[in-house]
């Protein structure tokens, strides 16, 4: 039986830092209001680099760290809700940018849960023997979809990309996951809408590229569904919370994480948080955090991690990983 295991991680974020103080000059908000409600202090914003460019630079970071030959990469999956084109996919553009000419490449869209969804898909390809390795990336340029006059959303989001290189292994690495969605609540977090107007109907031509969010509904969903998912995953796999070295949550809101911590009875010092520096980077959120943990040598071989997130769809995800 085949298993898959994370071998290397990498990340790339734009250099431009936008602080809460800067946003205070643009909308009716202030640093204390943002920090107290979200835990966010600053975020990275693209100065022109688009989604596939961020994704490719994070891939290059992984390739450099692992001394990987791009031609040996067999599968590339990019999780993104903000691709710059309908086609080609961001993954195909990454394939070209890094010279992974033999890789199969495609995108997955599951918003903030996207990286875990993509990791789950790559794991299945490897377990079935279809591929021996995969490059899985979460990448977003949310700033192009943010209404910078809307204080309820513009304070939340940031741009970035990160990912992992996974290989076939004789030891379990990606243990199990619990992923799902509730499409009936999908409009609680939506954006990038276009009507179906064309030359043969009378539909009004209209588009709205901005992100819209019912913050309370998303908050309620996240604080209910994520603990439920994580508990179910642990119970079904006979894993105790004491077995978890760290929880790597989606970096959306510190208050949400504190509630998840309380419901799971896992102390906050075992949750890795970095939303203060990056804000909510959607599909890039969990892998950026994971990469920081690897770079800081916070985890060692044999440590067990719990990835936990939620996002547009509405989607949720929990995944057990052995380092």
Q: Which residues are catalytic?
A: 112, 250, 280
The DSSP line for 18-69 is EEHHHHHTTSS--HHHHHHHH---EEE--SS--HHHHHHHHHHHHHHHHT--
Question: Phi-psi category of 70—alpha, beta or left, where left has phi over 0 and alpha has psi -120 to 50?
Answer: alpha
Chain centroid to CA 323: 19
Look at the chain and count its residues: 323
- DSSP lists the bridge partners of residue 167 as 5, 133
Angle between helices 215-236 and 254-264 (to 10 degrees): 30
Contact assessment for residue 140 and residue 14, using Cβ atoms and an 8 Å cutoff: no
CA diameter of the chain: 61
């Amino acid at each position: 039986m085949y298993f898959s295991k994370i071998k290397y991680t990498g990340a790339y974020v734009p250099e431009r830092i936008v602080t809460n103080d800067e946003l205070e000059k643009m909308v009716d908000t202030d640093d204390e209001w943002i920090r107290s409600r979200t835990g966010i202090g600053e975020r990275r914003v693209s100065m022109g680099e688009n989604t596939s460019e961020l994704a490719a630079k994070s891939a290059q970071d992984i390739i450099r760290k692992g001394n990987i030959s791009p031609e040996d990469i067999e599968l590339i999956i990019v999780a993104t809700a903000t691709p710059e084109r309908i086609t080609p996919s961001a993954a195909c553009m990454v394939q070209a940018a890094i010279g992974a000419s033999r890789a199969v490449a495609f995108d997955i869209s599951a918003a903030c849960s996207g990286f875990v969804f993509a990791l789950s898909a790559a794991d299945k390809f490897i377990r079935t023997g279809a591929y021996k390795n995969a490059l899985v990336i979460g990448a977003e340029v949310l700033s192009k979809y943010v209404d910078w006059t809307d204080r309820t959303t513009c304070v939340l989001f940031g741009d970035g990309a990160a990912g992992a290189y996974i290989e076939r292994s004789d030891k379990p690495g990606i243990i199990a996951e619990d992923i799902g969605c509730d499409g009936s609540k999908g409009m609680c977090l939506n954006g990038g809408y276009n009507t179906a107007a064309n030359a043969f109907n009378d539909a009004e031509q209209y588009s709205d590229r901005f992100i819209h969010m019912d913050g309370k509904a998303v908050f309620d969903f996240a604080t209910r569904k994520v603990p439920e998912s994580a508990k179910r995953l642990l119970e079904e796999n006979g894993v105790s919370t004491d077995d978890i070295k760290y929880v790597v949550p989606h970096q959306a809101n510190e208050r949400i994480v504190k509630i998840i911590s309380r419901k799971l009875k896992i102390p906050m010092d075992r949750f890795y948080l970095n939303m203060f520096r990056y804000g909510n980077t959607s599909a890039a959120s969990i892998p950026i955090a994971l990469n920081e943990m690897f770079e800081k040598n916070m985890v060692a071989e044999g440590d067990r991690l719990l990835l936990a997130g939620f996002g547009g769809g509405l989607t949720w995800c929990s995944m057990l990983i052995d380092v």
